[in-house]
Structure 1
Amino acid sequence: MSRALKVMLVAAEASGDALGAGLARALKARLGKDVVFVGVGGPKMAEEGVASPFDIADLSVLGWLEGLKAYGVVKRRVADTVALARAERPDVVVLIDSWGFTIRVAKALRAELPGVPLIKYVGPQVWASRPGRAKTLAASVDHLLALYAFDAPWFEKEGLPTTVVGSQALHVDMSGADAAAFRASRGIAPETPLLLVLPGSRPSEIRLMTPVYEAAAARLKRHDPSLEIAVVAAGTVADDVTARVAAWPFRAHMVPESEKYAAMKAATVALATSGTVSTELTLAGAPMVIAYRFQPLSYAIMKPFFTGKYATLFNHAAGEEIAPELIQADATPVRLADAVGHLLADPGARAEQAARQTAALDLMGREGRDPSEIAADAVLRTIVERRNGAAIPG
Structure 2
Amino acid sequence: MSPERNVASPYLPSSAKSVRIFISTGEVSGDLQGSLLVAALKRRAEQMEMAIDILALGGDRMAQAGAQLLGHTSAIGSVGILESLPYILPTLQVQQRAKQYLQENPPDLVVMIDYLGPNLSIGSYVRQHLPQVPLVYYITPQEWVWSFGSRNTNQIINMADRILAIFPGEARYYQERGAAVTYVGHPLVDRMQDAPSREQARAQLGLADDQRAIALLPASRRQELTYLMPAMFGAAQQIQAKLPDVQFLIPLSLDAYRSAIEQAIQAYGLRATLIANQTQTVLAAADLAIAKSGTVNLELALLDVPQVVIYRVNPVTAWIAKRVLKFSIPFMSPPNLVSMEAIVPELLQDDVRPDKITQLAMELLLNPERRQQTLAGYGRMRHALGEKGVCDRAAHEIFALLVQEVNTSSI
Partner SS state of residue 271, structure 1: strand
- Deviation, structure 1 residue 390: 4.9
- Deviation, structure 1 residue 185: 6.8
Q: C-alpha distance in 2, partners of 1:273/1:219?
A: 18
Specify whether residues 264 and 48 from structure 1 end up closer, same or farther in structure 2 by C-alpha distance, changes over 3 A only: closer
1:1-46 per-position Cα deviation (integer Å, ceiling 9, x unaligned): 2451111122222322233332222222232343222232222222
1:226 aligns with 2:245: yes
1:8 is matched with 22
1:79 aligns with 2:102: no
Specify whether residues 282 and 69 from structure 1 end up closer, same or farther in structure 2 by C-alpha distance, changes over 3 A only: same
1:27 is matched with 41
Q: C-alpha distance in 2, partners of 1:88/1:342?
A: 56
2:9 is matched with none
TM-score norm. by structure 2 comes to 0.87
Is contact 1:201–1:236 with CA below 8 Å preserved after alignment?
no
> Which of the numbers 345, 351, 360 marks the counterpart of 1:339?
360
Specify whether residues 299 and 87 from structure 1 end up closer, same or farther in structure 2 by C-alpha distance, changes over 3 A only: same
- Deviation, structure 1 residue 181: 5.7
1:107 aligns with 2:124: yes
1:64 is matched with 81
Specify whether residues 193 and 27 from structure 1 end up closer, same or farther in structure 2 by C-alpha distance, changes over 3 A only: closer
2:162 is matched with 143
Partner SS state of residue 209, structure 2: coil
Q: C-alpha distance in 2, partners of 1:268/1:48?
A: 31
After TM superposition, the structure 1 = structure 2 runs for residues 169-208 of structure 1, keeping only pairs within 5 Å, are 169-173=188-192, 177-180=196-199, 182-183=201-202, 188-208=207-227
2:172 is matched with 153
Amino acid at match of 1:314: P
Is contact 1:94–1:120 with CA below 8 Å preserved after alignment?
yes
Partner SS state of residue 250, structure 1: coil
Which sits farther off after the overlay, 180-189 or 71-80? 180-189
> Which of the numbers 123, 127, 143 marks the counterpart of 2:144?
127
- Deviation, structure 1 residue 230: 2.1
1:318 aligns with 2:339: yes
- Deviation, structure 1 residue 194: 2.3
> Which of the numbers 221, 235, 242 marks the counterpart of 1:216?
235
> Which of the numbers 289, 292, 296 marks the counterpart of 1:273?
292
- Deviation, structure 1 residue 155: 1.5
Q: How many residues align?
A: 389
Between the aligned residues of both structures, percent identity stands at 25
- Deviation, structure 1 residue 340: 0.8
1:247 is matched with 267
1:350-392 per-position Cα deviation (integer Å, ceiling 9, x unaligned): 1232222222221232xx2422211111111222333444566
After TM superposition, the structure 1 = structure 2 runs for residues 355-374 of structure 1, keeping only pairs within 5 Å, are 355-365=376-386, 368-374=387-393
Amino acid at match of 2:118: F
TM-score norm. by structure 1 comes to 0.90
After TM superposition, the structure 1 = structure 2 runs for residues 267-306 of structure 1, keeping only pairs within 5 Å, are 267-303=286-322, 304-306=325-327
1:376 aligns with 2:395: yes
Partner SS state of residue 59, structure 1: coil
Amino acid at match of 1:142: D
Q: C-alpha distance in 1, partners of 2:330/2:303?
A: 25
Is contact 1:245–1:252 with CA below 8 Å preserved after alignment?
yes
Which sits farther off after the overlay, 177-186 or 163-172? 177-186
Q: Which runs of 5+ in 2 are unaligned?
A: 1-14
Amino acid at match of 2:87: A
Partner SS state of residue 70, structure 1: helix
Partner SS state of residue 68, structure 2: coil
Specify whether residues 184 and 215 from structure 1 end up closer, same or farther in structure 2 by C-alpha distance, changes over 3 A only: same
Amino acid at match of 1:86: Q
Partner SS state of residue 159, structure 2: coil
Partner SS state of residue 52, structure 1: strand
Is contact 1:174–1:284 with CA below 8 Å preserved after alignment?
no
Specify whether residues 96 and 361 from structure 1 end up closer, same or farther in structure 2 by C-alpha distance, changes over 3 A only: same
Is contact 2:190–2:391 with CA below 8 Å preserved after alignment?
no
